[in-house]
Amino acid sequence: MLYREAGQFKTSYPADQAIFPIPQDRWSLAIVLVAAFAVVPMVANNYWLVSILIPFLVFSLAALGLNILTGYAGQVSLGTGGFMAVGAFAAYNLAVRLPQLNYIVDFALAGLIAAAVGVLFGLPSLRIKGFYLAVATLAAQFFIEWLFTRVPWFTNYSSSGVITAPKMQMFGFDLSDPVSRYLITLCIVTVLTLAAKNMVRSAVGRSWMAIRDMDIAAEIIGIRPLHTKLLAFAVSSFYCGVAGALWVFFYIGAVEPQAFDINRSFQVLFMVIIGGLGSVLGSFLGAGFIVFLPIALNNAAALFGGALQADTLSHLELIIFGGLIIFFLIVEPLGLARLWQIGKEKLRLWPFPH
Amino acid sequence: MKLRKLSMAALALGLLAAPEAFAQGEQFVPVTIYRTGAYANTGAPLMVGYMDYMAMLNERDGGVGGVKLTWEECETGYQNDRMVECYERLKGKGPTGAAVFNPLGTGLTYAILEKAAADKIPIVSLGYGRTDSTDGRVFPYSFPLITNYWSQSTAKIKFIAVKEGGMDKLKGKKIANVHHDSAYGKETIPVLDEQAKKYGFEVKHYPVAHPGLDQKATWLQIRQARPDWVILRGWGVMSQVSIKEAAAIGFARDKMVGVYWSGSEQDTVPAGDAAKGYISAAMHGSGTAFPVVQDVIRHVYDKGKGNGDKKEIGTVMWNRGIIHGLVNIEAIIVAQAKFGKKPLKGEEVQFGLENLNFTAERVKALGAENLLPPFKTSCRDHEGQAPVKFQQWDGQKWVMISDWVTTDQSIVRPMIEVSAASYAKEKNITPRSC
């Protein structure tokens, strides 16, 4: 009943092709956005903003980037951490060396630099497919991490190899308090998500999916693999690069290249797999799962403080986390996004299922 | 749908976990620890020692100046992002907020350095951390206490010179710096280069990637380079692998000098016979023959209230936890003398840390003679320039083989001031005058 489309007639093509054709979706999205922009800054405390919501948004963006490449275009990548590092170090160097630039410009340029690097490392995808491509993208991961560790110019000759984000100022306002950091991150993530949503339902997205489903068939119907695959790498790396920049500037504040090691790539890959391959919503659900759950388990563990040994609790956190991942993948191998879809279908019939 | 609800409920339960009630007259001390991950074997016993010391004070003296100490653990897993989460979670707890953070990791220290300065909560990075934050004029809330990395490095070179027969004998010698490829490992590269120039020895840096299980290639290079000495800057599992690889290429273990963080039982015992003769810098003594350690055993472990395994008592890492306790709590004692015997805020504890004075008498009164070196801090000097001892593994235990070796501040201090000044310029900080 809640999701019933019966009686909603589209009278024009634009209405039928709208980004959210069903009013229920439009309304719920509007409510989520109002909540995120207006309610959250008023009610959330610093702990929630700084250590939960900002990393959630940053990871959502990275997962969205990887989802475009892996979920939509079908190119498996393990280089996400590397591309995030490119974005982070590019934004840092732009901010330090060209302080007159606005940070938004920095982030955009950092994203473009990451996109260029992504295209470079995407070239092998024209010849290598599937798991072999995953191994090839590992080269990007290890080379980039090595580069930033070894060449001191990238870290502005910091002796320890750590870069620290400069003070956030934009148009003369100080933006270093948690609420502004959250709001800027939210704005960037919202705009890029909207762009991604539109990309994947346009000709570009359809060509990605065609390549994913069968590249030879796609080539025969006139989709050029070179352009399509490299575009997917470019867009994906752009998103990851911006996410890396946000990670440094709005979340941690100080990172070493090791913050973007292979584990980071795996973490984002798990978000995409758990959230749902080929789904924008899935990127957010997956990021939520991976970011929230360990912290929630850790907090929950504090409740049992007296009952169990502290070291047992720390290890239980990992065990439960791993167990839940397996559980969700068994219950729904297509990810949390598919669970949500099933939920929507049930809501359509509720409360009178067949 | 049932599943969703269930998981949501579980999430909500976890996140809305009711904060425990803290009584008014309690001093809250955050404990960030890593019991999981690649570095847990060395990191966890240290924080256990720290908590044991605080537990002992609560049992023996009823806290500090009548103020009971309370603490809460937060698992960081040695990851910077989890450290930030723990910092945000713990900083506001207790009646006056967190007293002082001990991140226990150089990368972790960097991750919260600026946040803590903004929140006016001091960070103690005892024997690690950002070296140039020794300059308290630029970094009022960071305390790389006792001996920072650069000071320790000068003591190490002095020790090597003594073994070679004098500072002038260093000329033409080859030293290999095998370091963990992270903020921690790279921190001494500039000071070693500086010393190489000054004393005329040759230094080569060999990075080892995290976690350091595969070092075959590195040690083959070392075999070719034939250095006279190897400086080992390992952490966690890396150090024992280095010792084993050194044995495999036949490099004399008594020509290997490890840093504070490569000199514990966790590094030598797993290496077995290979570790015999291996030397490392020592911040403090090991063993249980100190009155303060005996007090911990009597008041905490004998009552079954220990925070860890009894067999860790007296190991290097656990004793370093006691050192953490002695230094952090001393800061609270000093601050209480100025601000009154009540729970203190972070910025009040900062005063205590800046005015530490561990004289020989004070160390003895604390029951830590030969455990803790005498040192003194000031607004300018957030380190204390404590001397360093050197210890050798005899196959069973660590044996001290030197007296306290003083550090060479004529090299370190100017480098710190230059580095801190450039940080101040980059961040638009006006240094305090003192």
Any domain includes A333: no
Beta carbons of A298 and B75 less than 8 Å apart: yes
Residue B89: its chain A contacts at CB < 8 A? 47, 51, 299
Closest CA to A90 of A280, A293, A248: A248
The residue type of B82 is R
Any domain includes A344: no
CA distance A23 to A29: 10
Interval A38-48 mean pLDDT: 90
Beta carbons of B35 and A315 less than 8 Å apart: yes
Confidence of residue B425 (pLDDT cuts 50, 70, 90): confident
Give B155-186 pLDDT, tens digit per residue: 999 999 999 988 888 889 999 999 998 888 88
Number of domains chain A contains: 1
Any domain includes A282: no
Beta carbons of B75 and A317 less than 8 Å apart: yes
Fold of domain B149-282:
Rossmann fold (3.40.50)
pLDDT of residue B123: 95
Q: Are A80 and A240 in contact (CB under 8 A)?
A: yes
pLDDT of residue A164: 85
Expressed as residue numbers, the domain containing A174 is: 19-257
Scanning every residue of chain A, which has its alpha carbon at the shortest distance from the alpha carbon of B416?
Answer: A159
Beta carbons of B110 and A310 less than 8 Å apart: no
Domain ranges in chain B with CATH number 3.40.50.2300? 24-147+286-386+415-427, 149-282
Average predicted confidence (pLDDT) for chain B: 89
pLDDT score of B235 more than 50: yes
CATH 3.40.50.2300 is held by the domain B24-147+286-386+415-427: yes
pLDDT score of B13 more than 50: no
**At a CB cut-off of 8 Å and minimum separation 6, what does A268 contact?**
A59, A62, A63, A66, A80, A81, A240
Give B345-402 pLDDT, tens digit per residue: 999 999 999 999 999 999 999 999 889 888 999 999 999 889 999 999 998 889 999 9
Please give the sequence-ordered ranges of beta strands (E in DSSP) within B209-298, or none if there are none: 229-233, 256-258, 279-282
Give A238-289 pLDDT, tens digit per residue: 999 999 999 999 998 888 888 898 999 999 999 999 999 999 999 999 999 9
Query: 10 Å Cβ neighbour count for B117?
Result: 19
pLDDT score of B61 more than 80: yes
Confidence of residue A1 (pLDDT cuts 50, 70, 90): low
Q: Tell me which H or E stretch contains B357.
A: strand B357-358
Coil vs helix vs strand at A140: helix
pLDDT of residue B14: 44
Render the burial of B420-433: b for 16+ CB within 10 Å, e for the rest.
bbebbeeeebebee
> Cα B252 to chain center, whole Å?
27
Render the burial of A185-207: b for 16+ CB within 10 Å, e for the rest.
bbebbeebbeebbebbeeebbeb
Interval A66-71 mean pLDDT: 95
Candidates B35, B81, B142, B188: best to mutate against A (most CBs of A within 10 A) is B81
Backbone torsions φ then ψ of B371, nearest 5 degrees: -95, -45
Beta carbons of B80 and A259 less than 8 Å apart: yes
pLDDT score of A323 more than 70: yes
Confidence of residue B24 (pLDDT cuts 50, 70, 90): low
Residue A298: its chain B contacts at CB < 8 A? 14, 74-75
Q: How, if at all, do strands B229-233 and B174-180 pair?
A: parallel
Chain A from 276 to 305: CB within 8 A of any B CB: 292-300, 302-303
Any domain includes A306: no
Any domain includes A50: yes
State the nearest Cα–Cα gap between B274 and chain A, in angstroms: 30
Please give the sequence-ordered ranges of beta strands (E in DSSP) within B131-287, or none if there are none: 142-143, 174-180, 202-208, 229-233, 256-258, 279-282
Q: Are B212 and B262 in contact (CB under 8 A)?
A: no
Beta carbons of B36 and A298 less than 8 Å apart: no
Coil vs helix vs strand at B205: strand
A330 touches chain B (CB under 8 A): no
Give A287-309 pLDDT, tens digit per residue: 999 999 888 888 877 777 666 77
Residue B113: its chain A contacts at CB < 8 A? 164, 254
pLDDT of residue B23: 54
Any domain includes A179: yes
Beta carbons of A300 and B111 less than 8 Å apart: no
Q: Which one of A162, A300, A317 has the shortest CB-CB distance to B17? A: A300
pLDDT of residue B12: 47
Interval B291-300 mean pLDDT: 94
Radius of gyration of chain A (CA): 21
Average predicted confidence (pLDDT) for chain A: 89
CA distance B320 to B285: 9
What crossing angle do the helices spanning A336-349 and B2-15 adopt, rounded to 10°?
120
Q: Are A201 and A19 in contact (CB under 8 A)?
A: yes
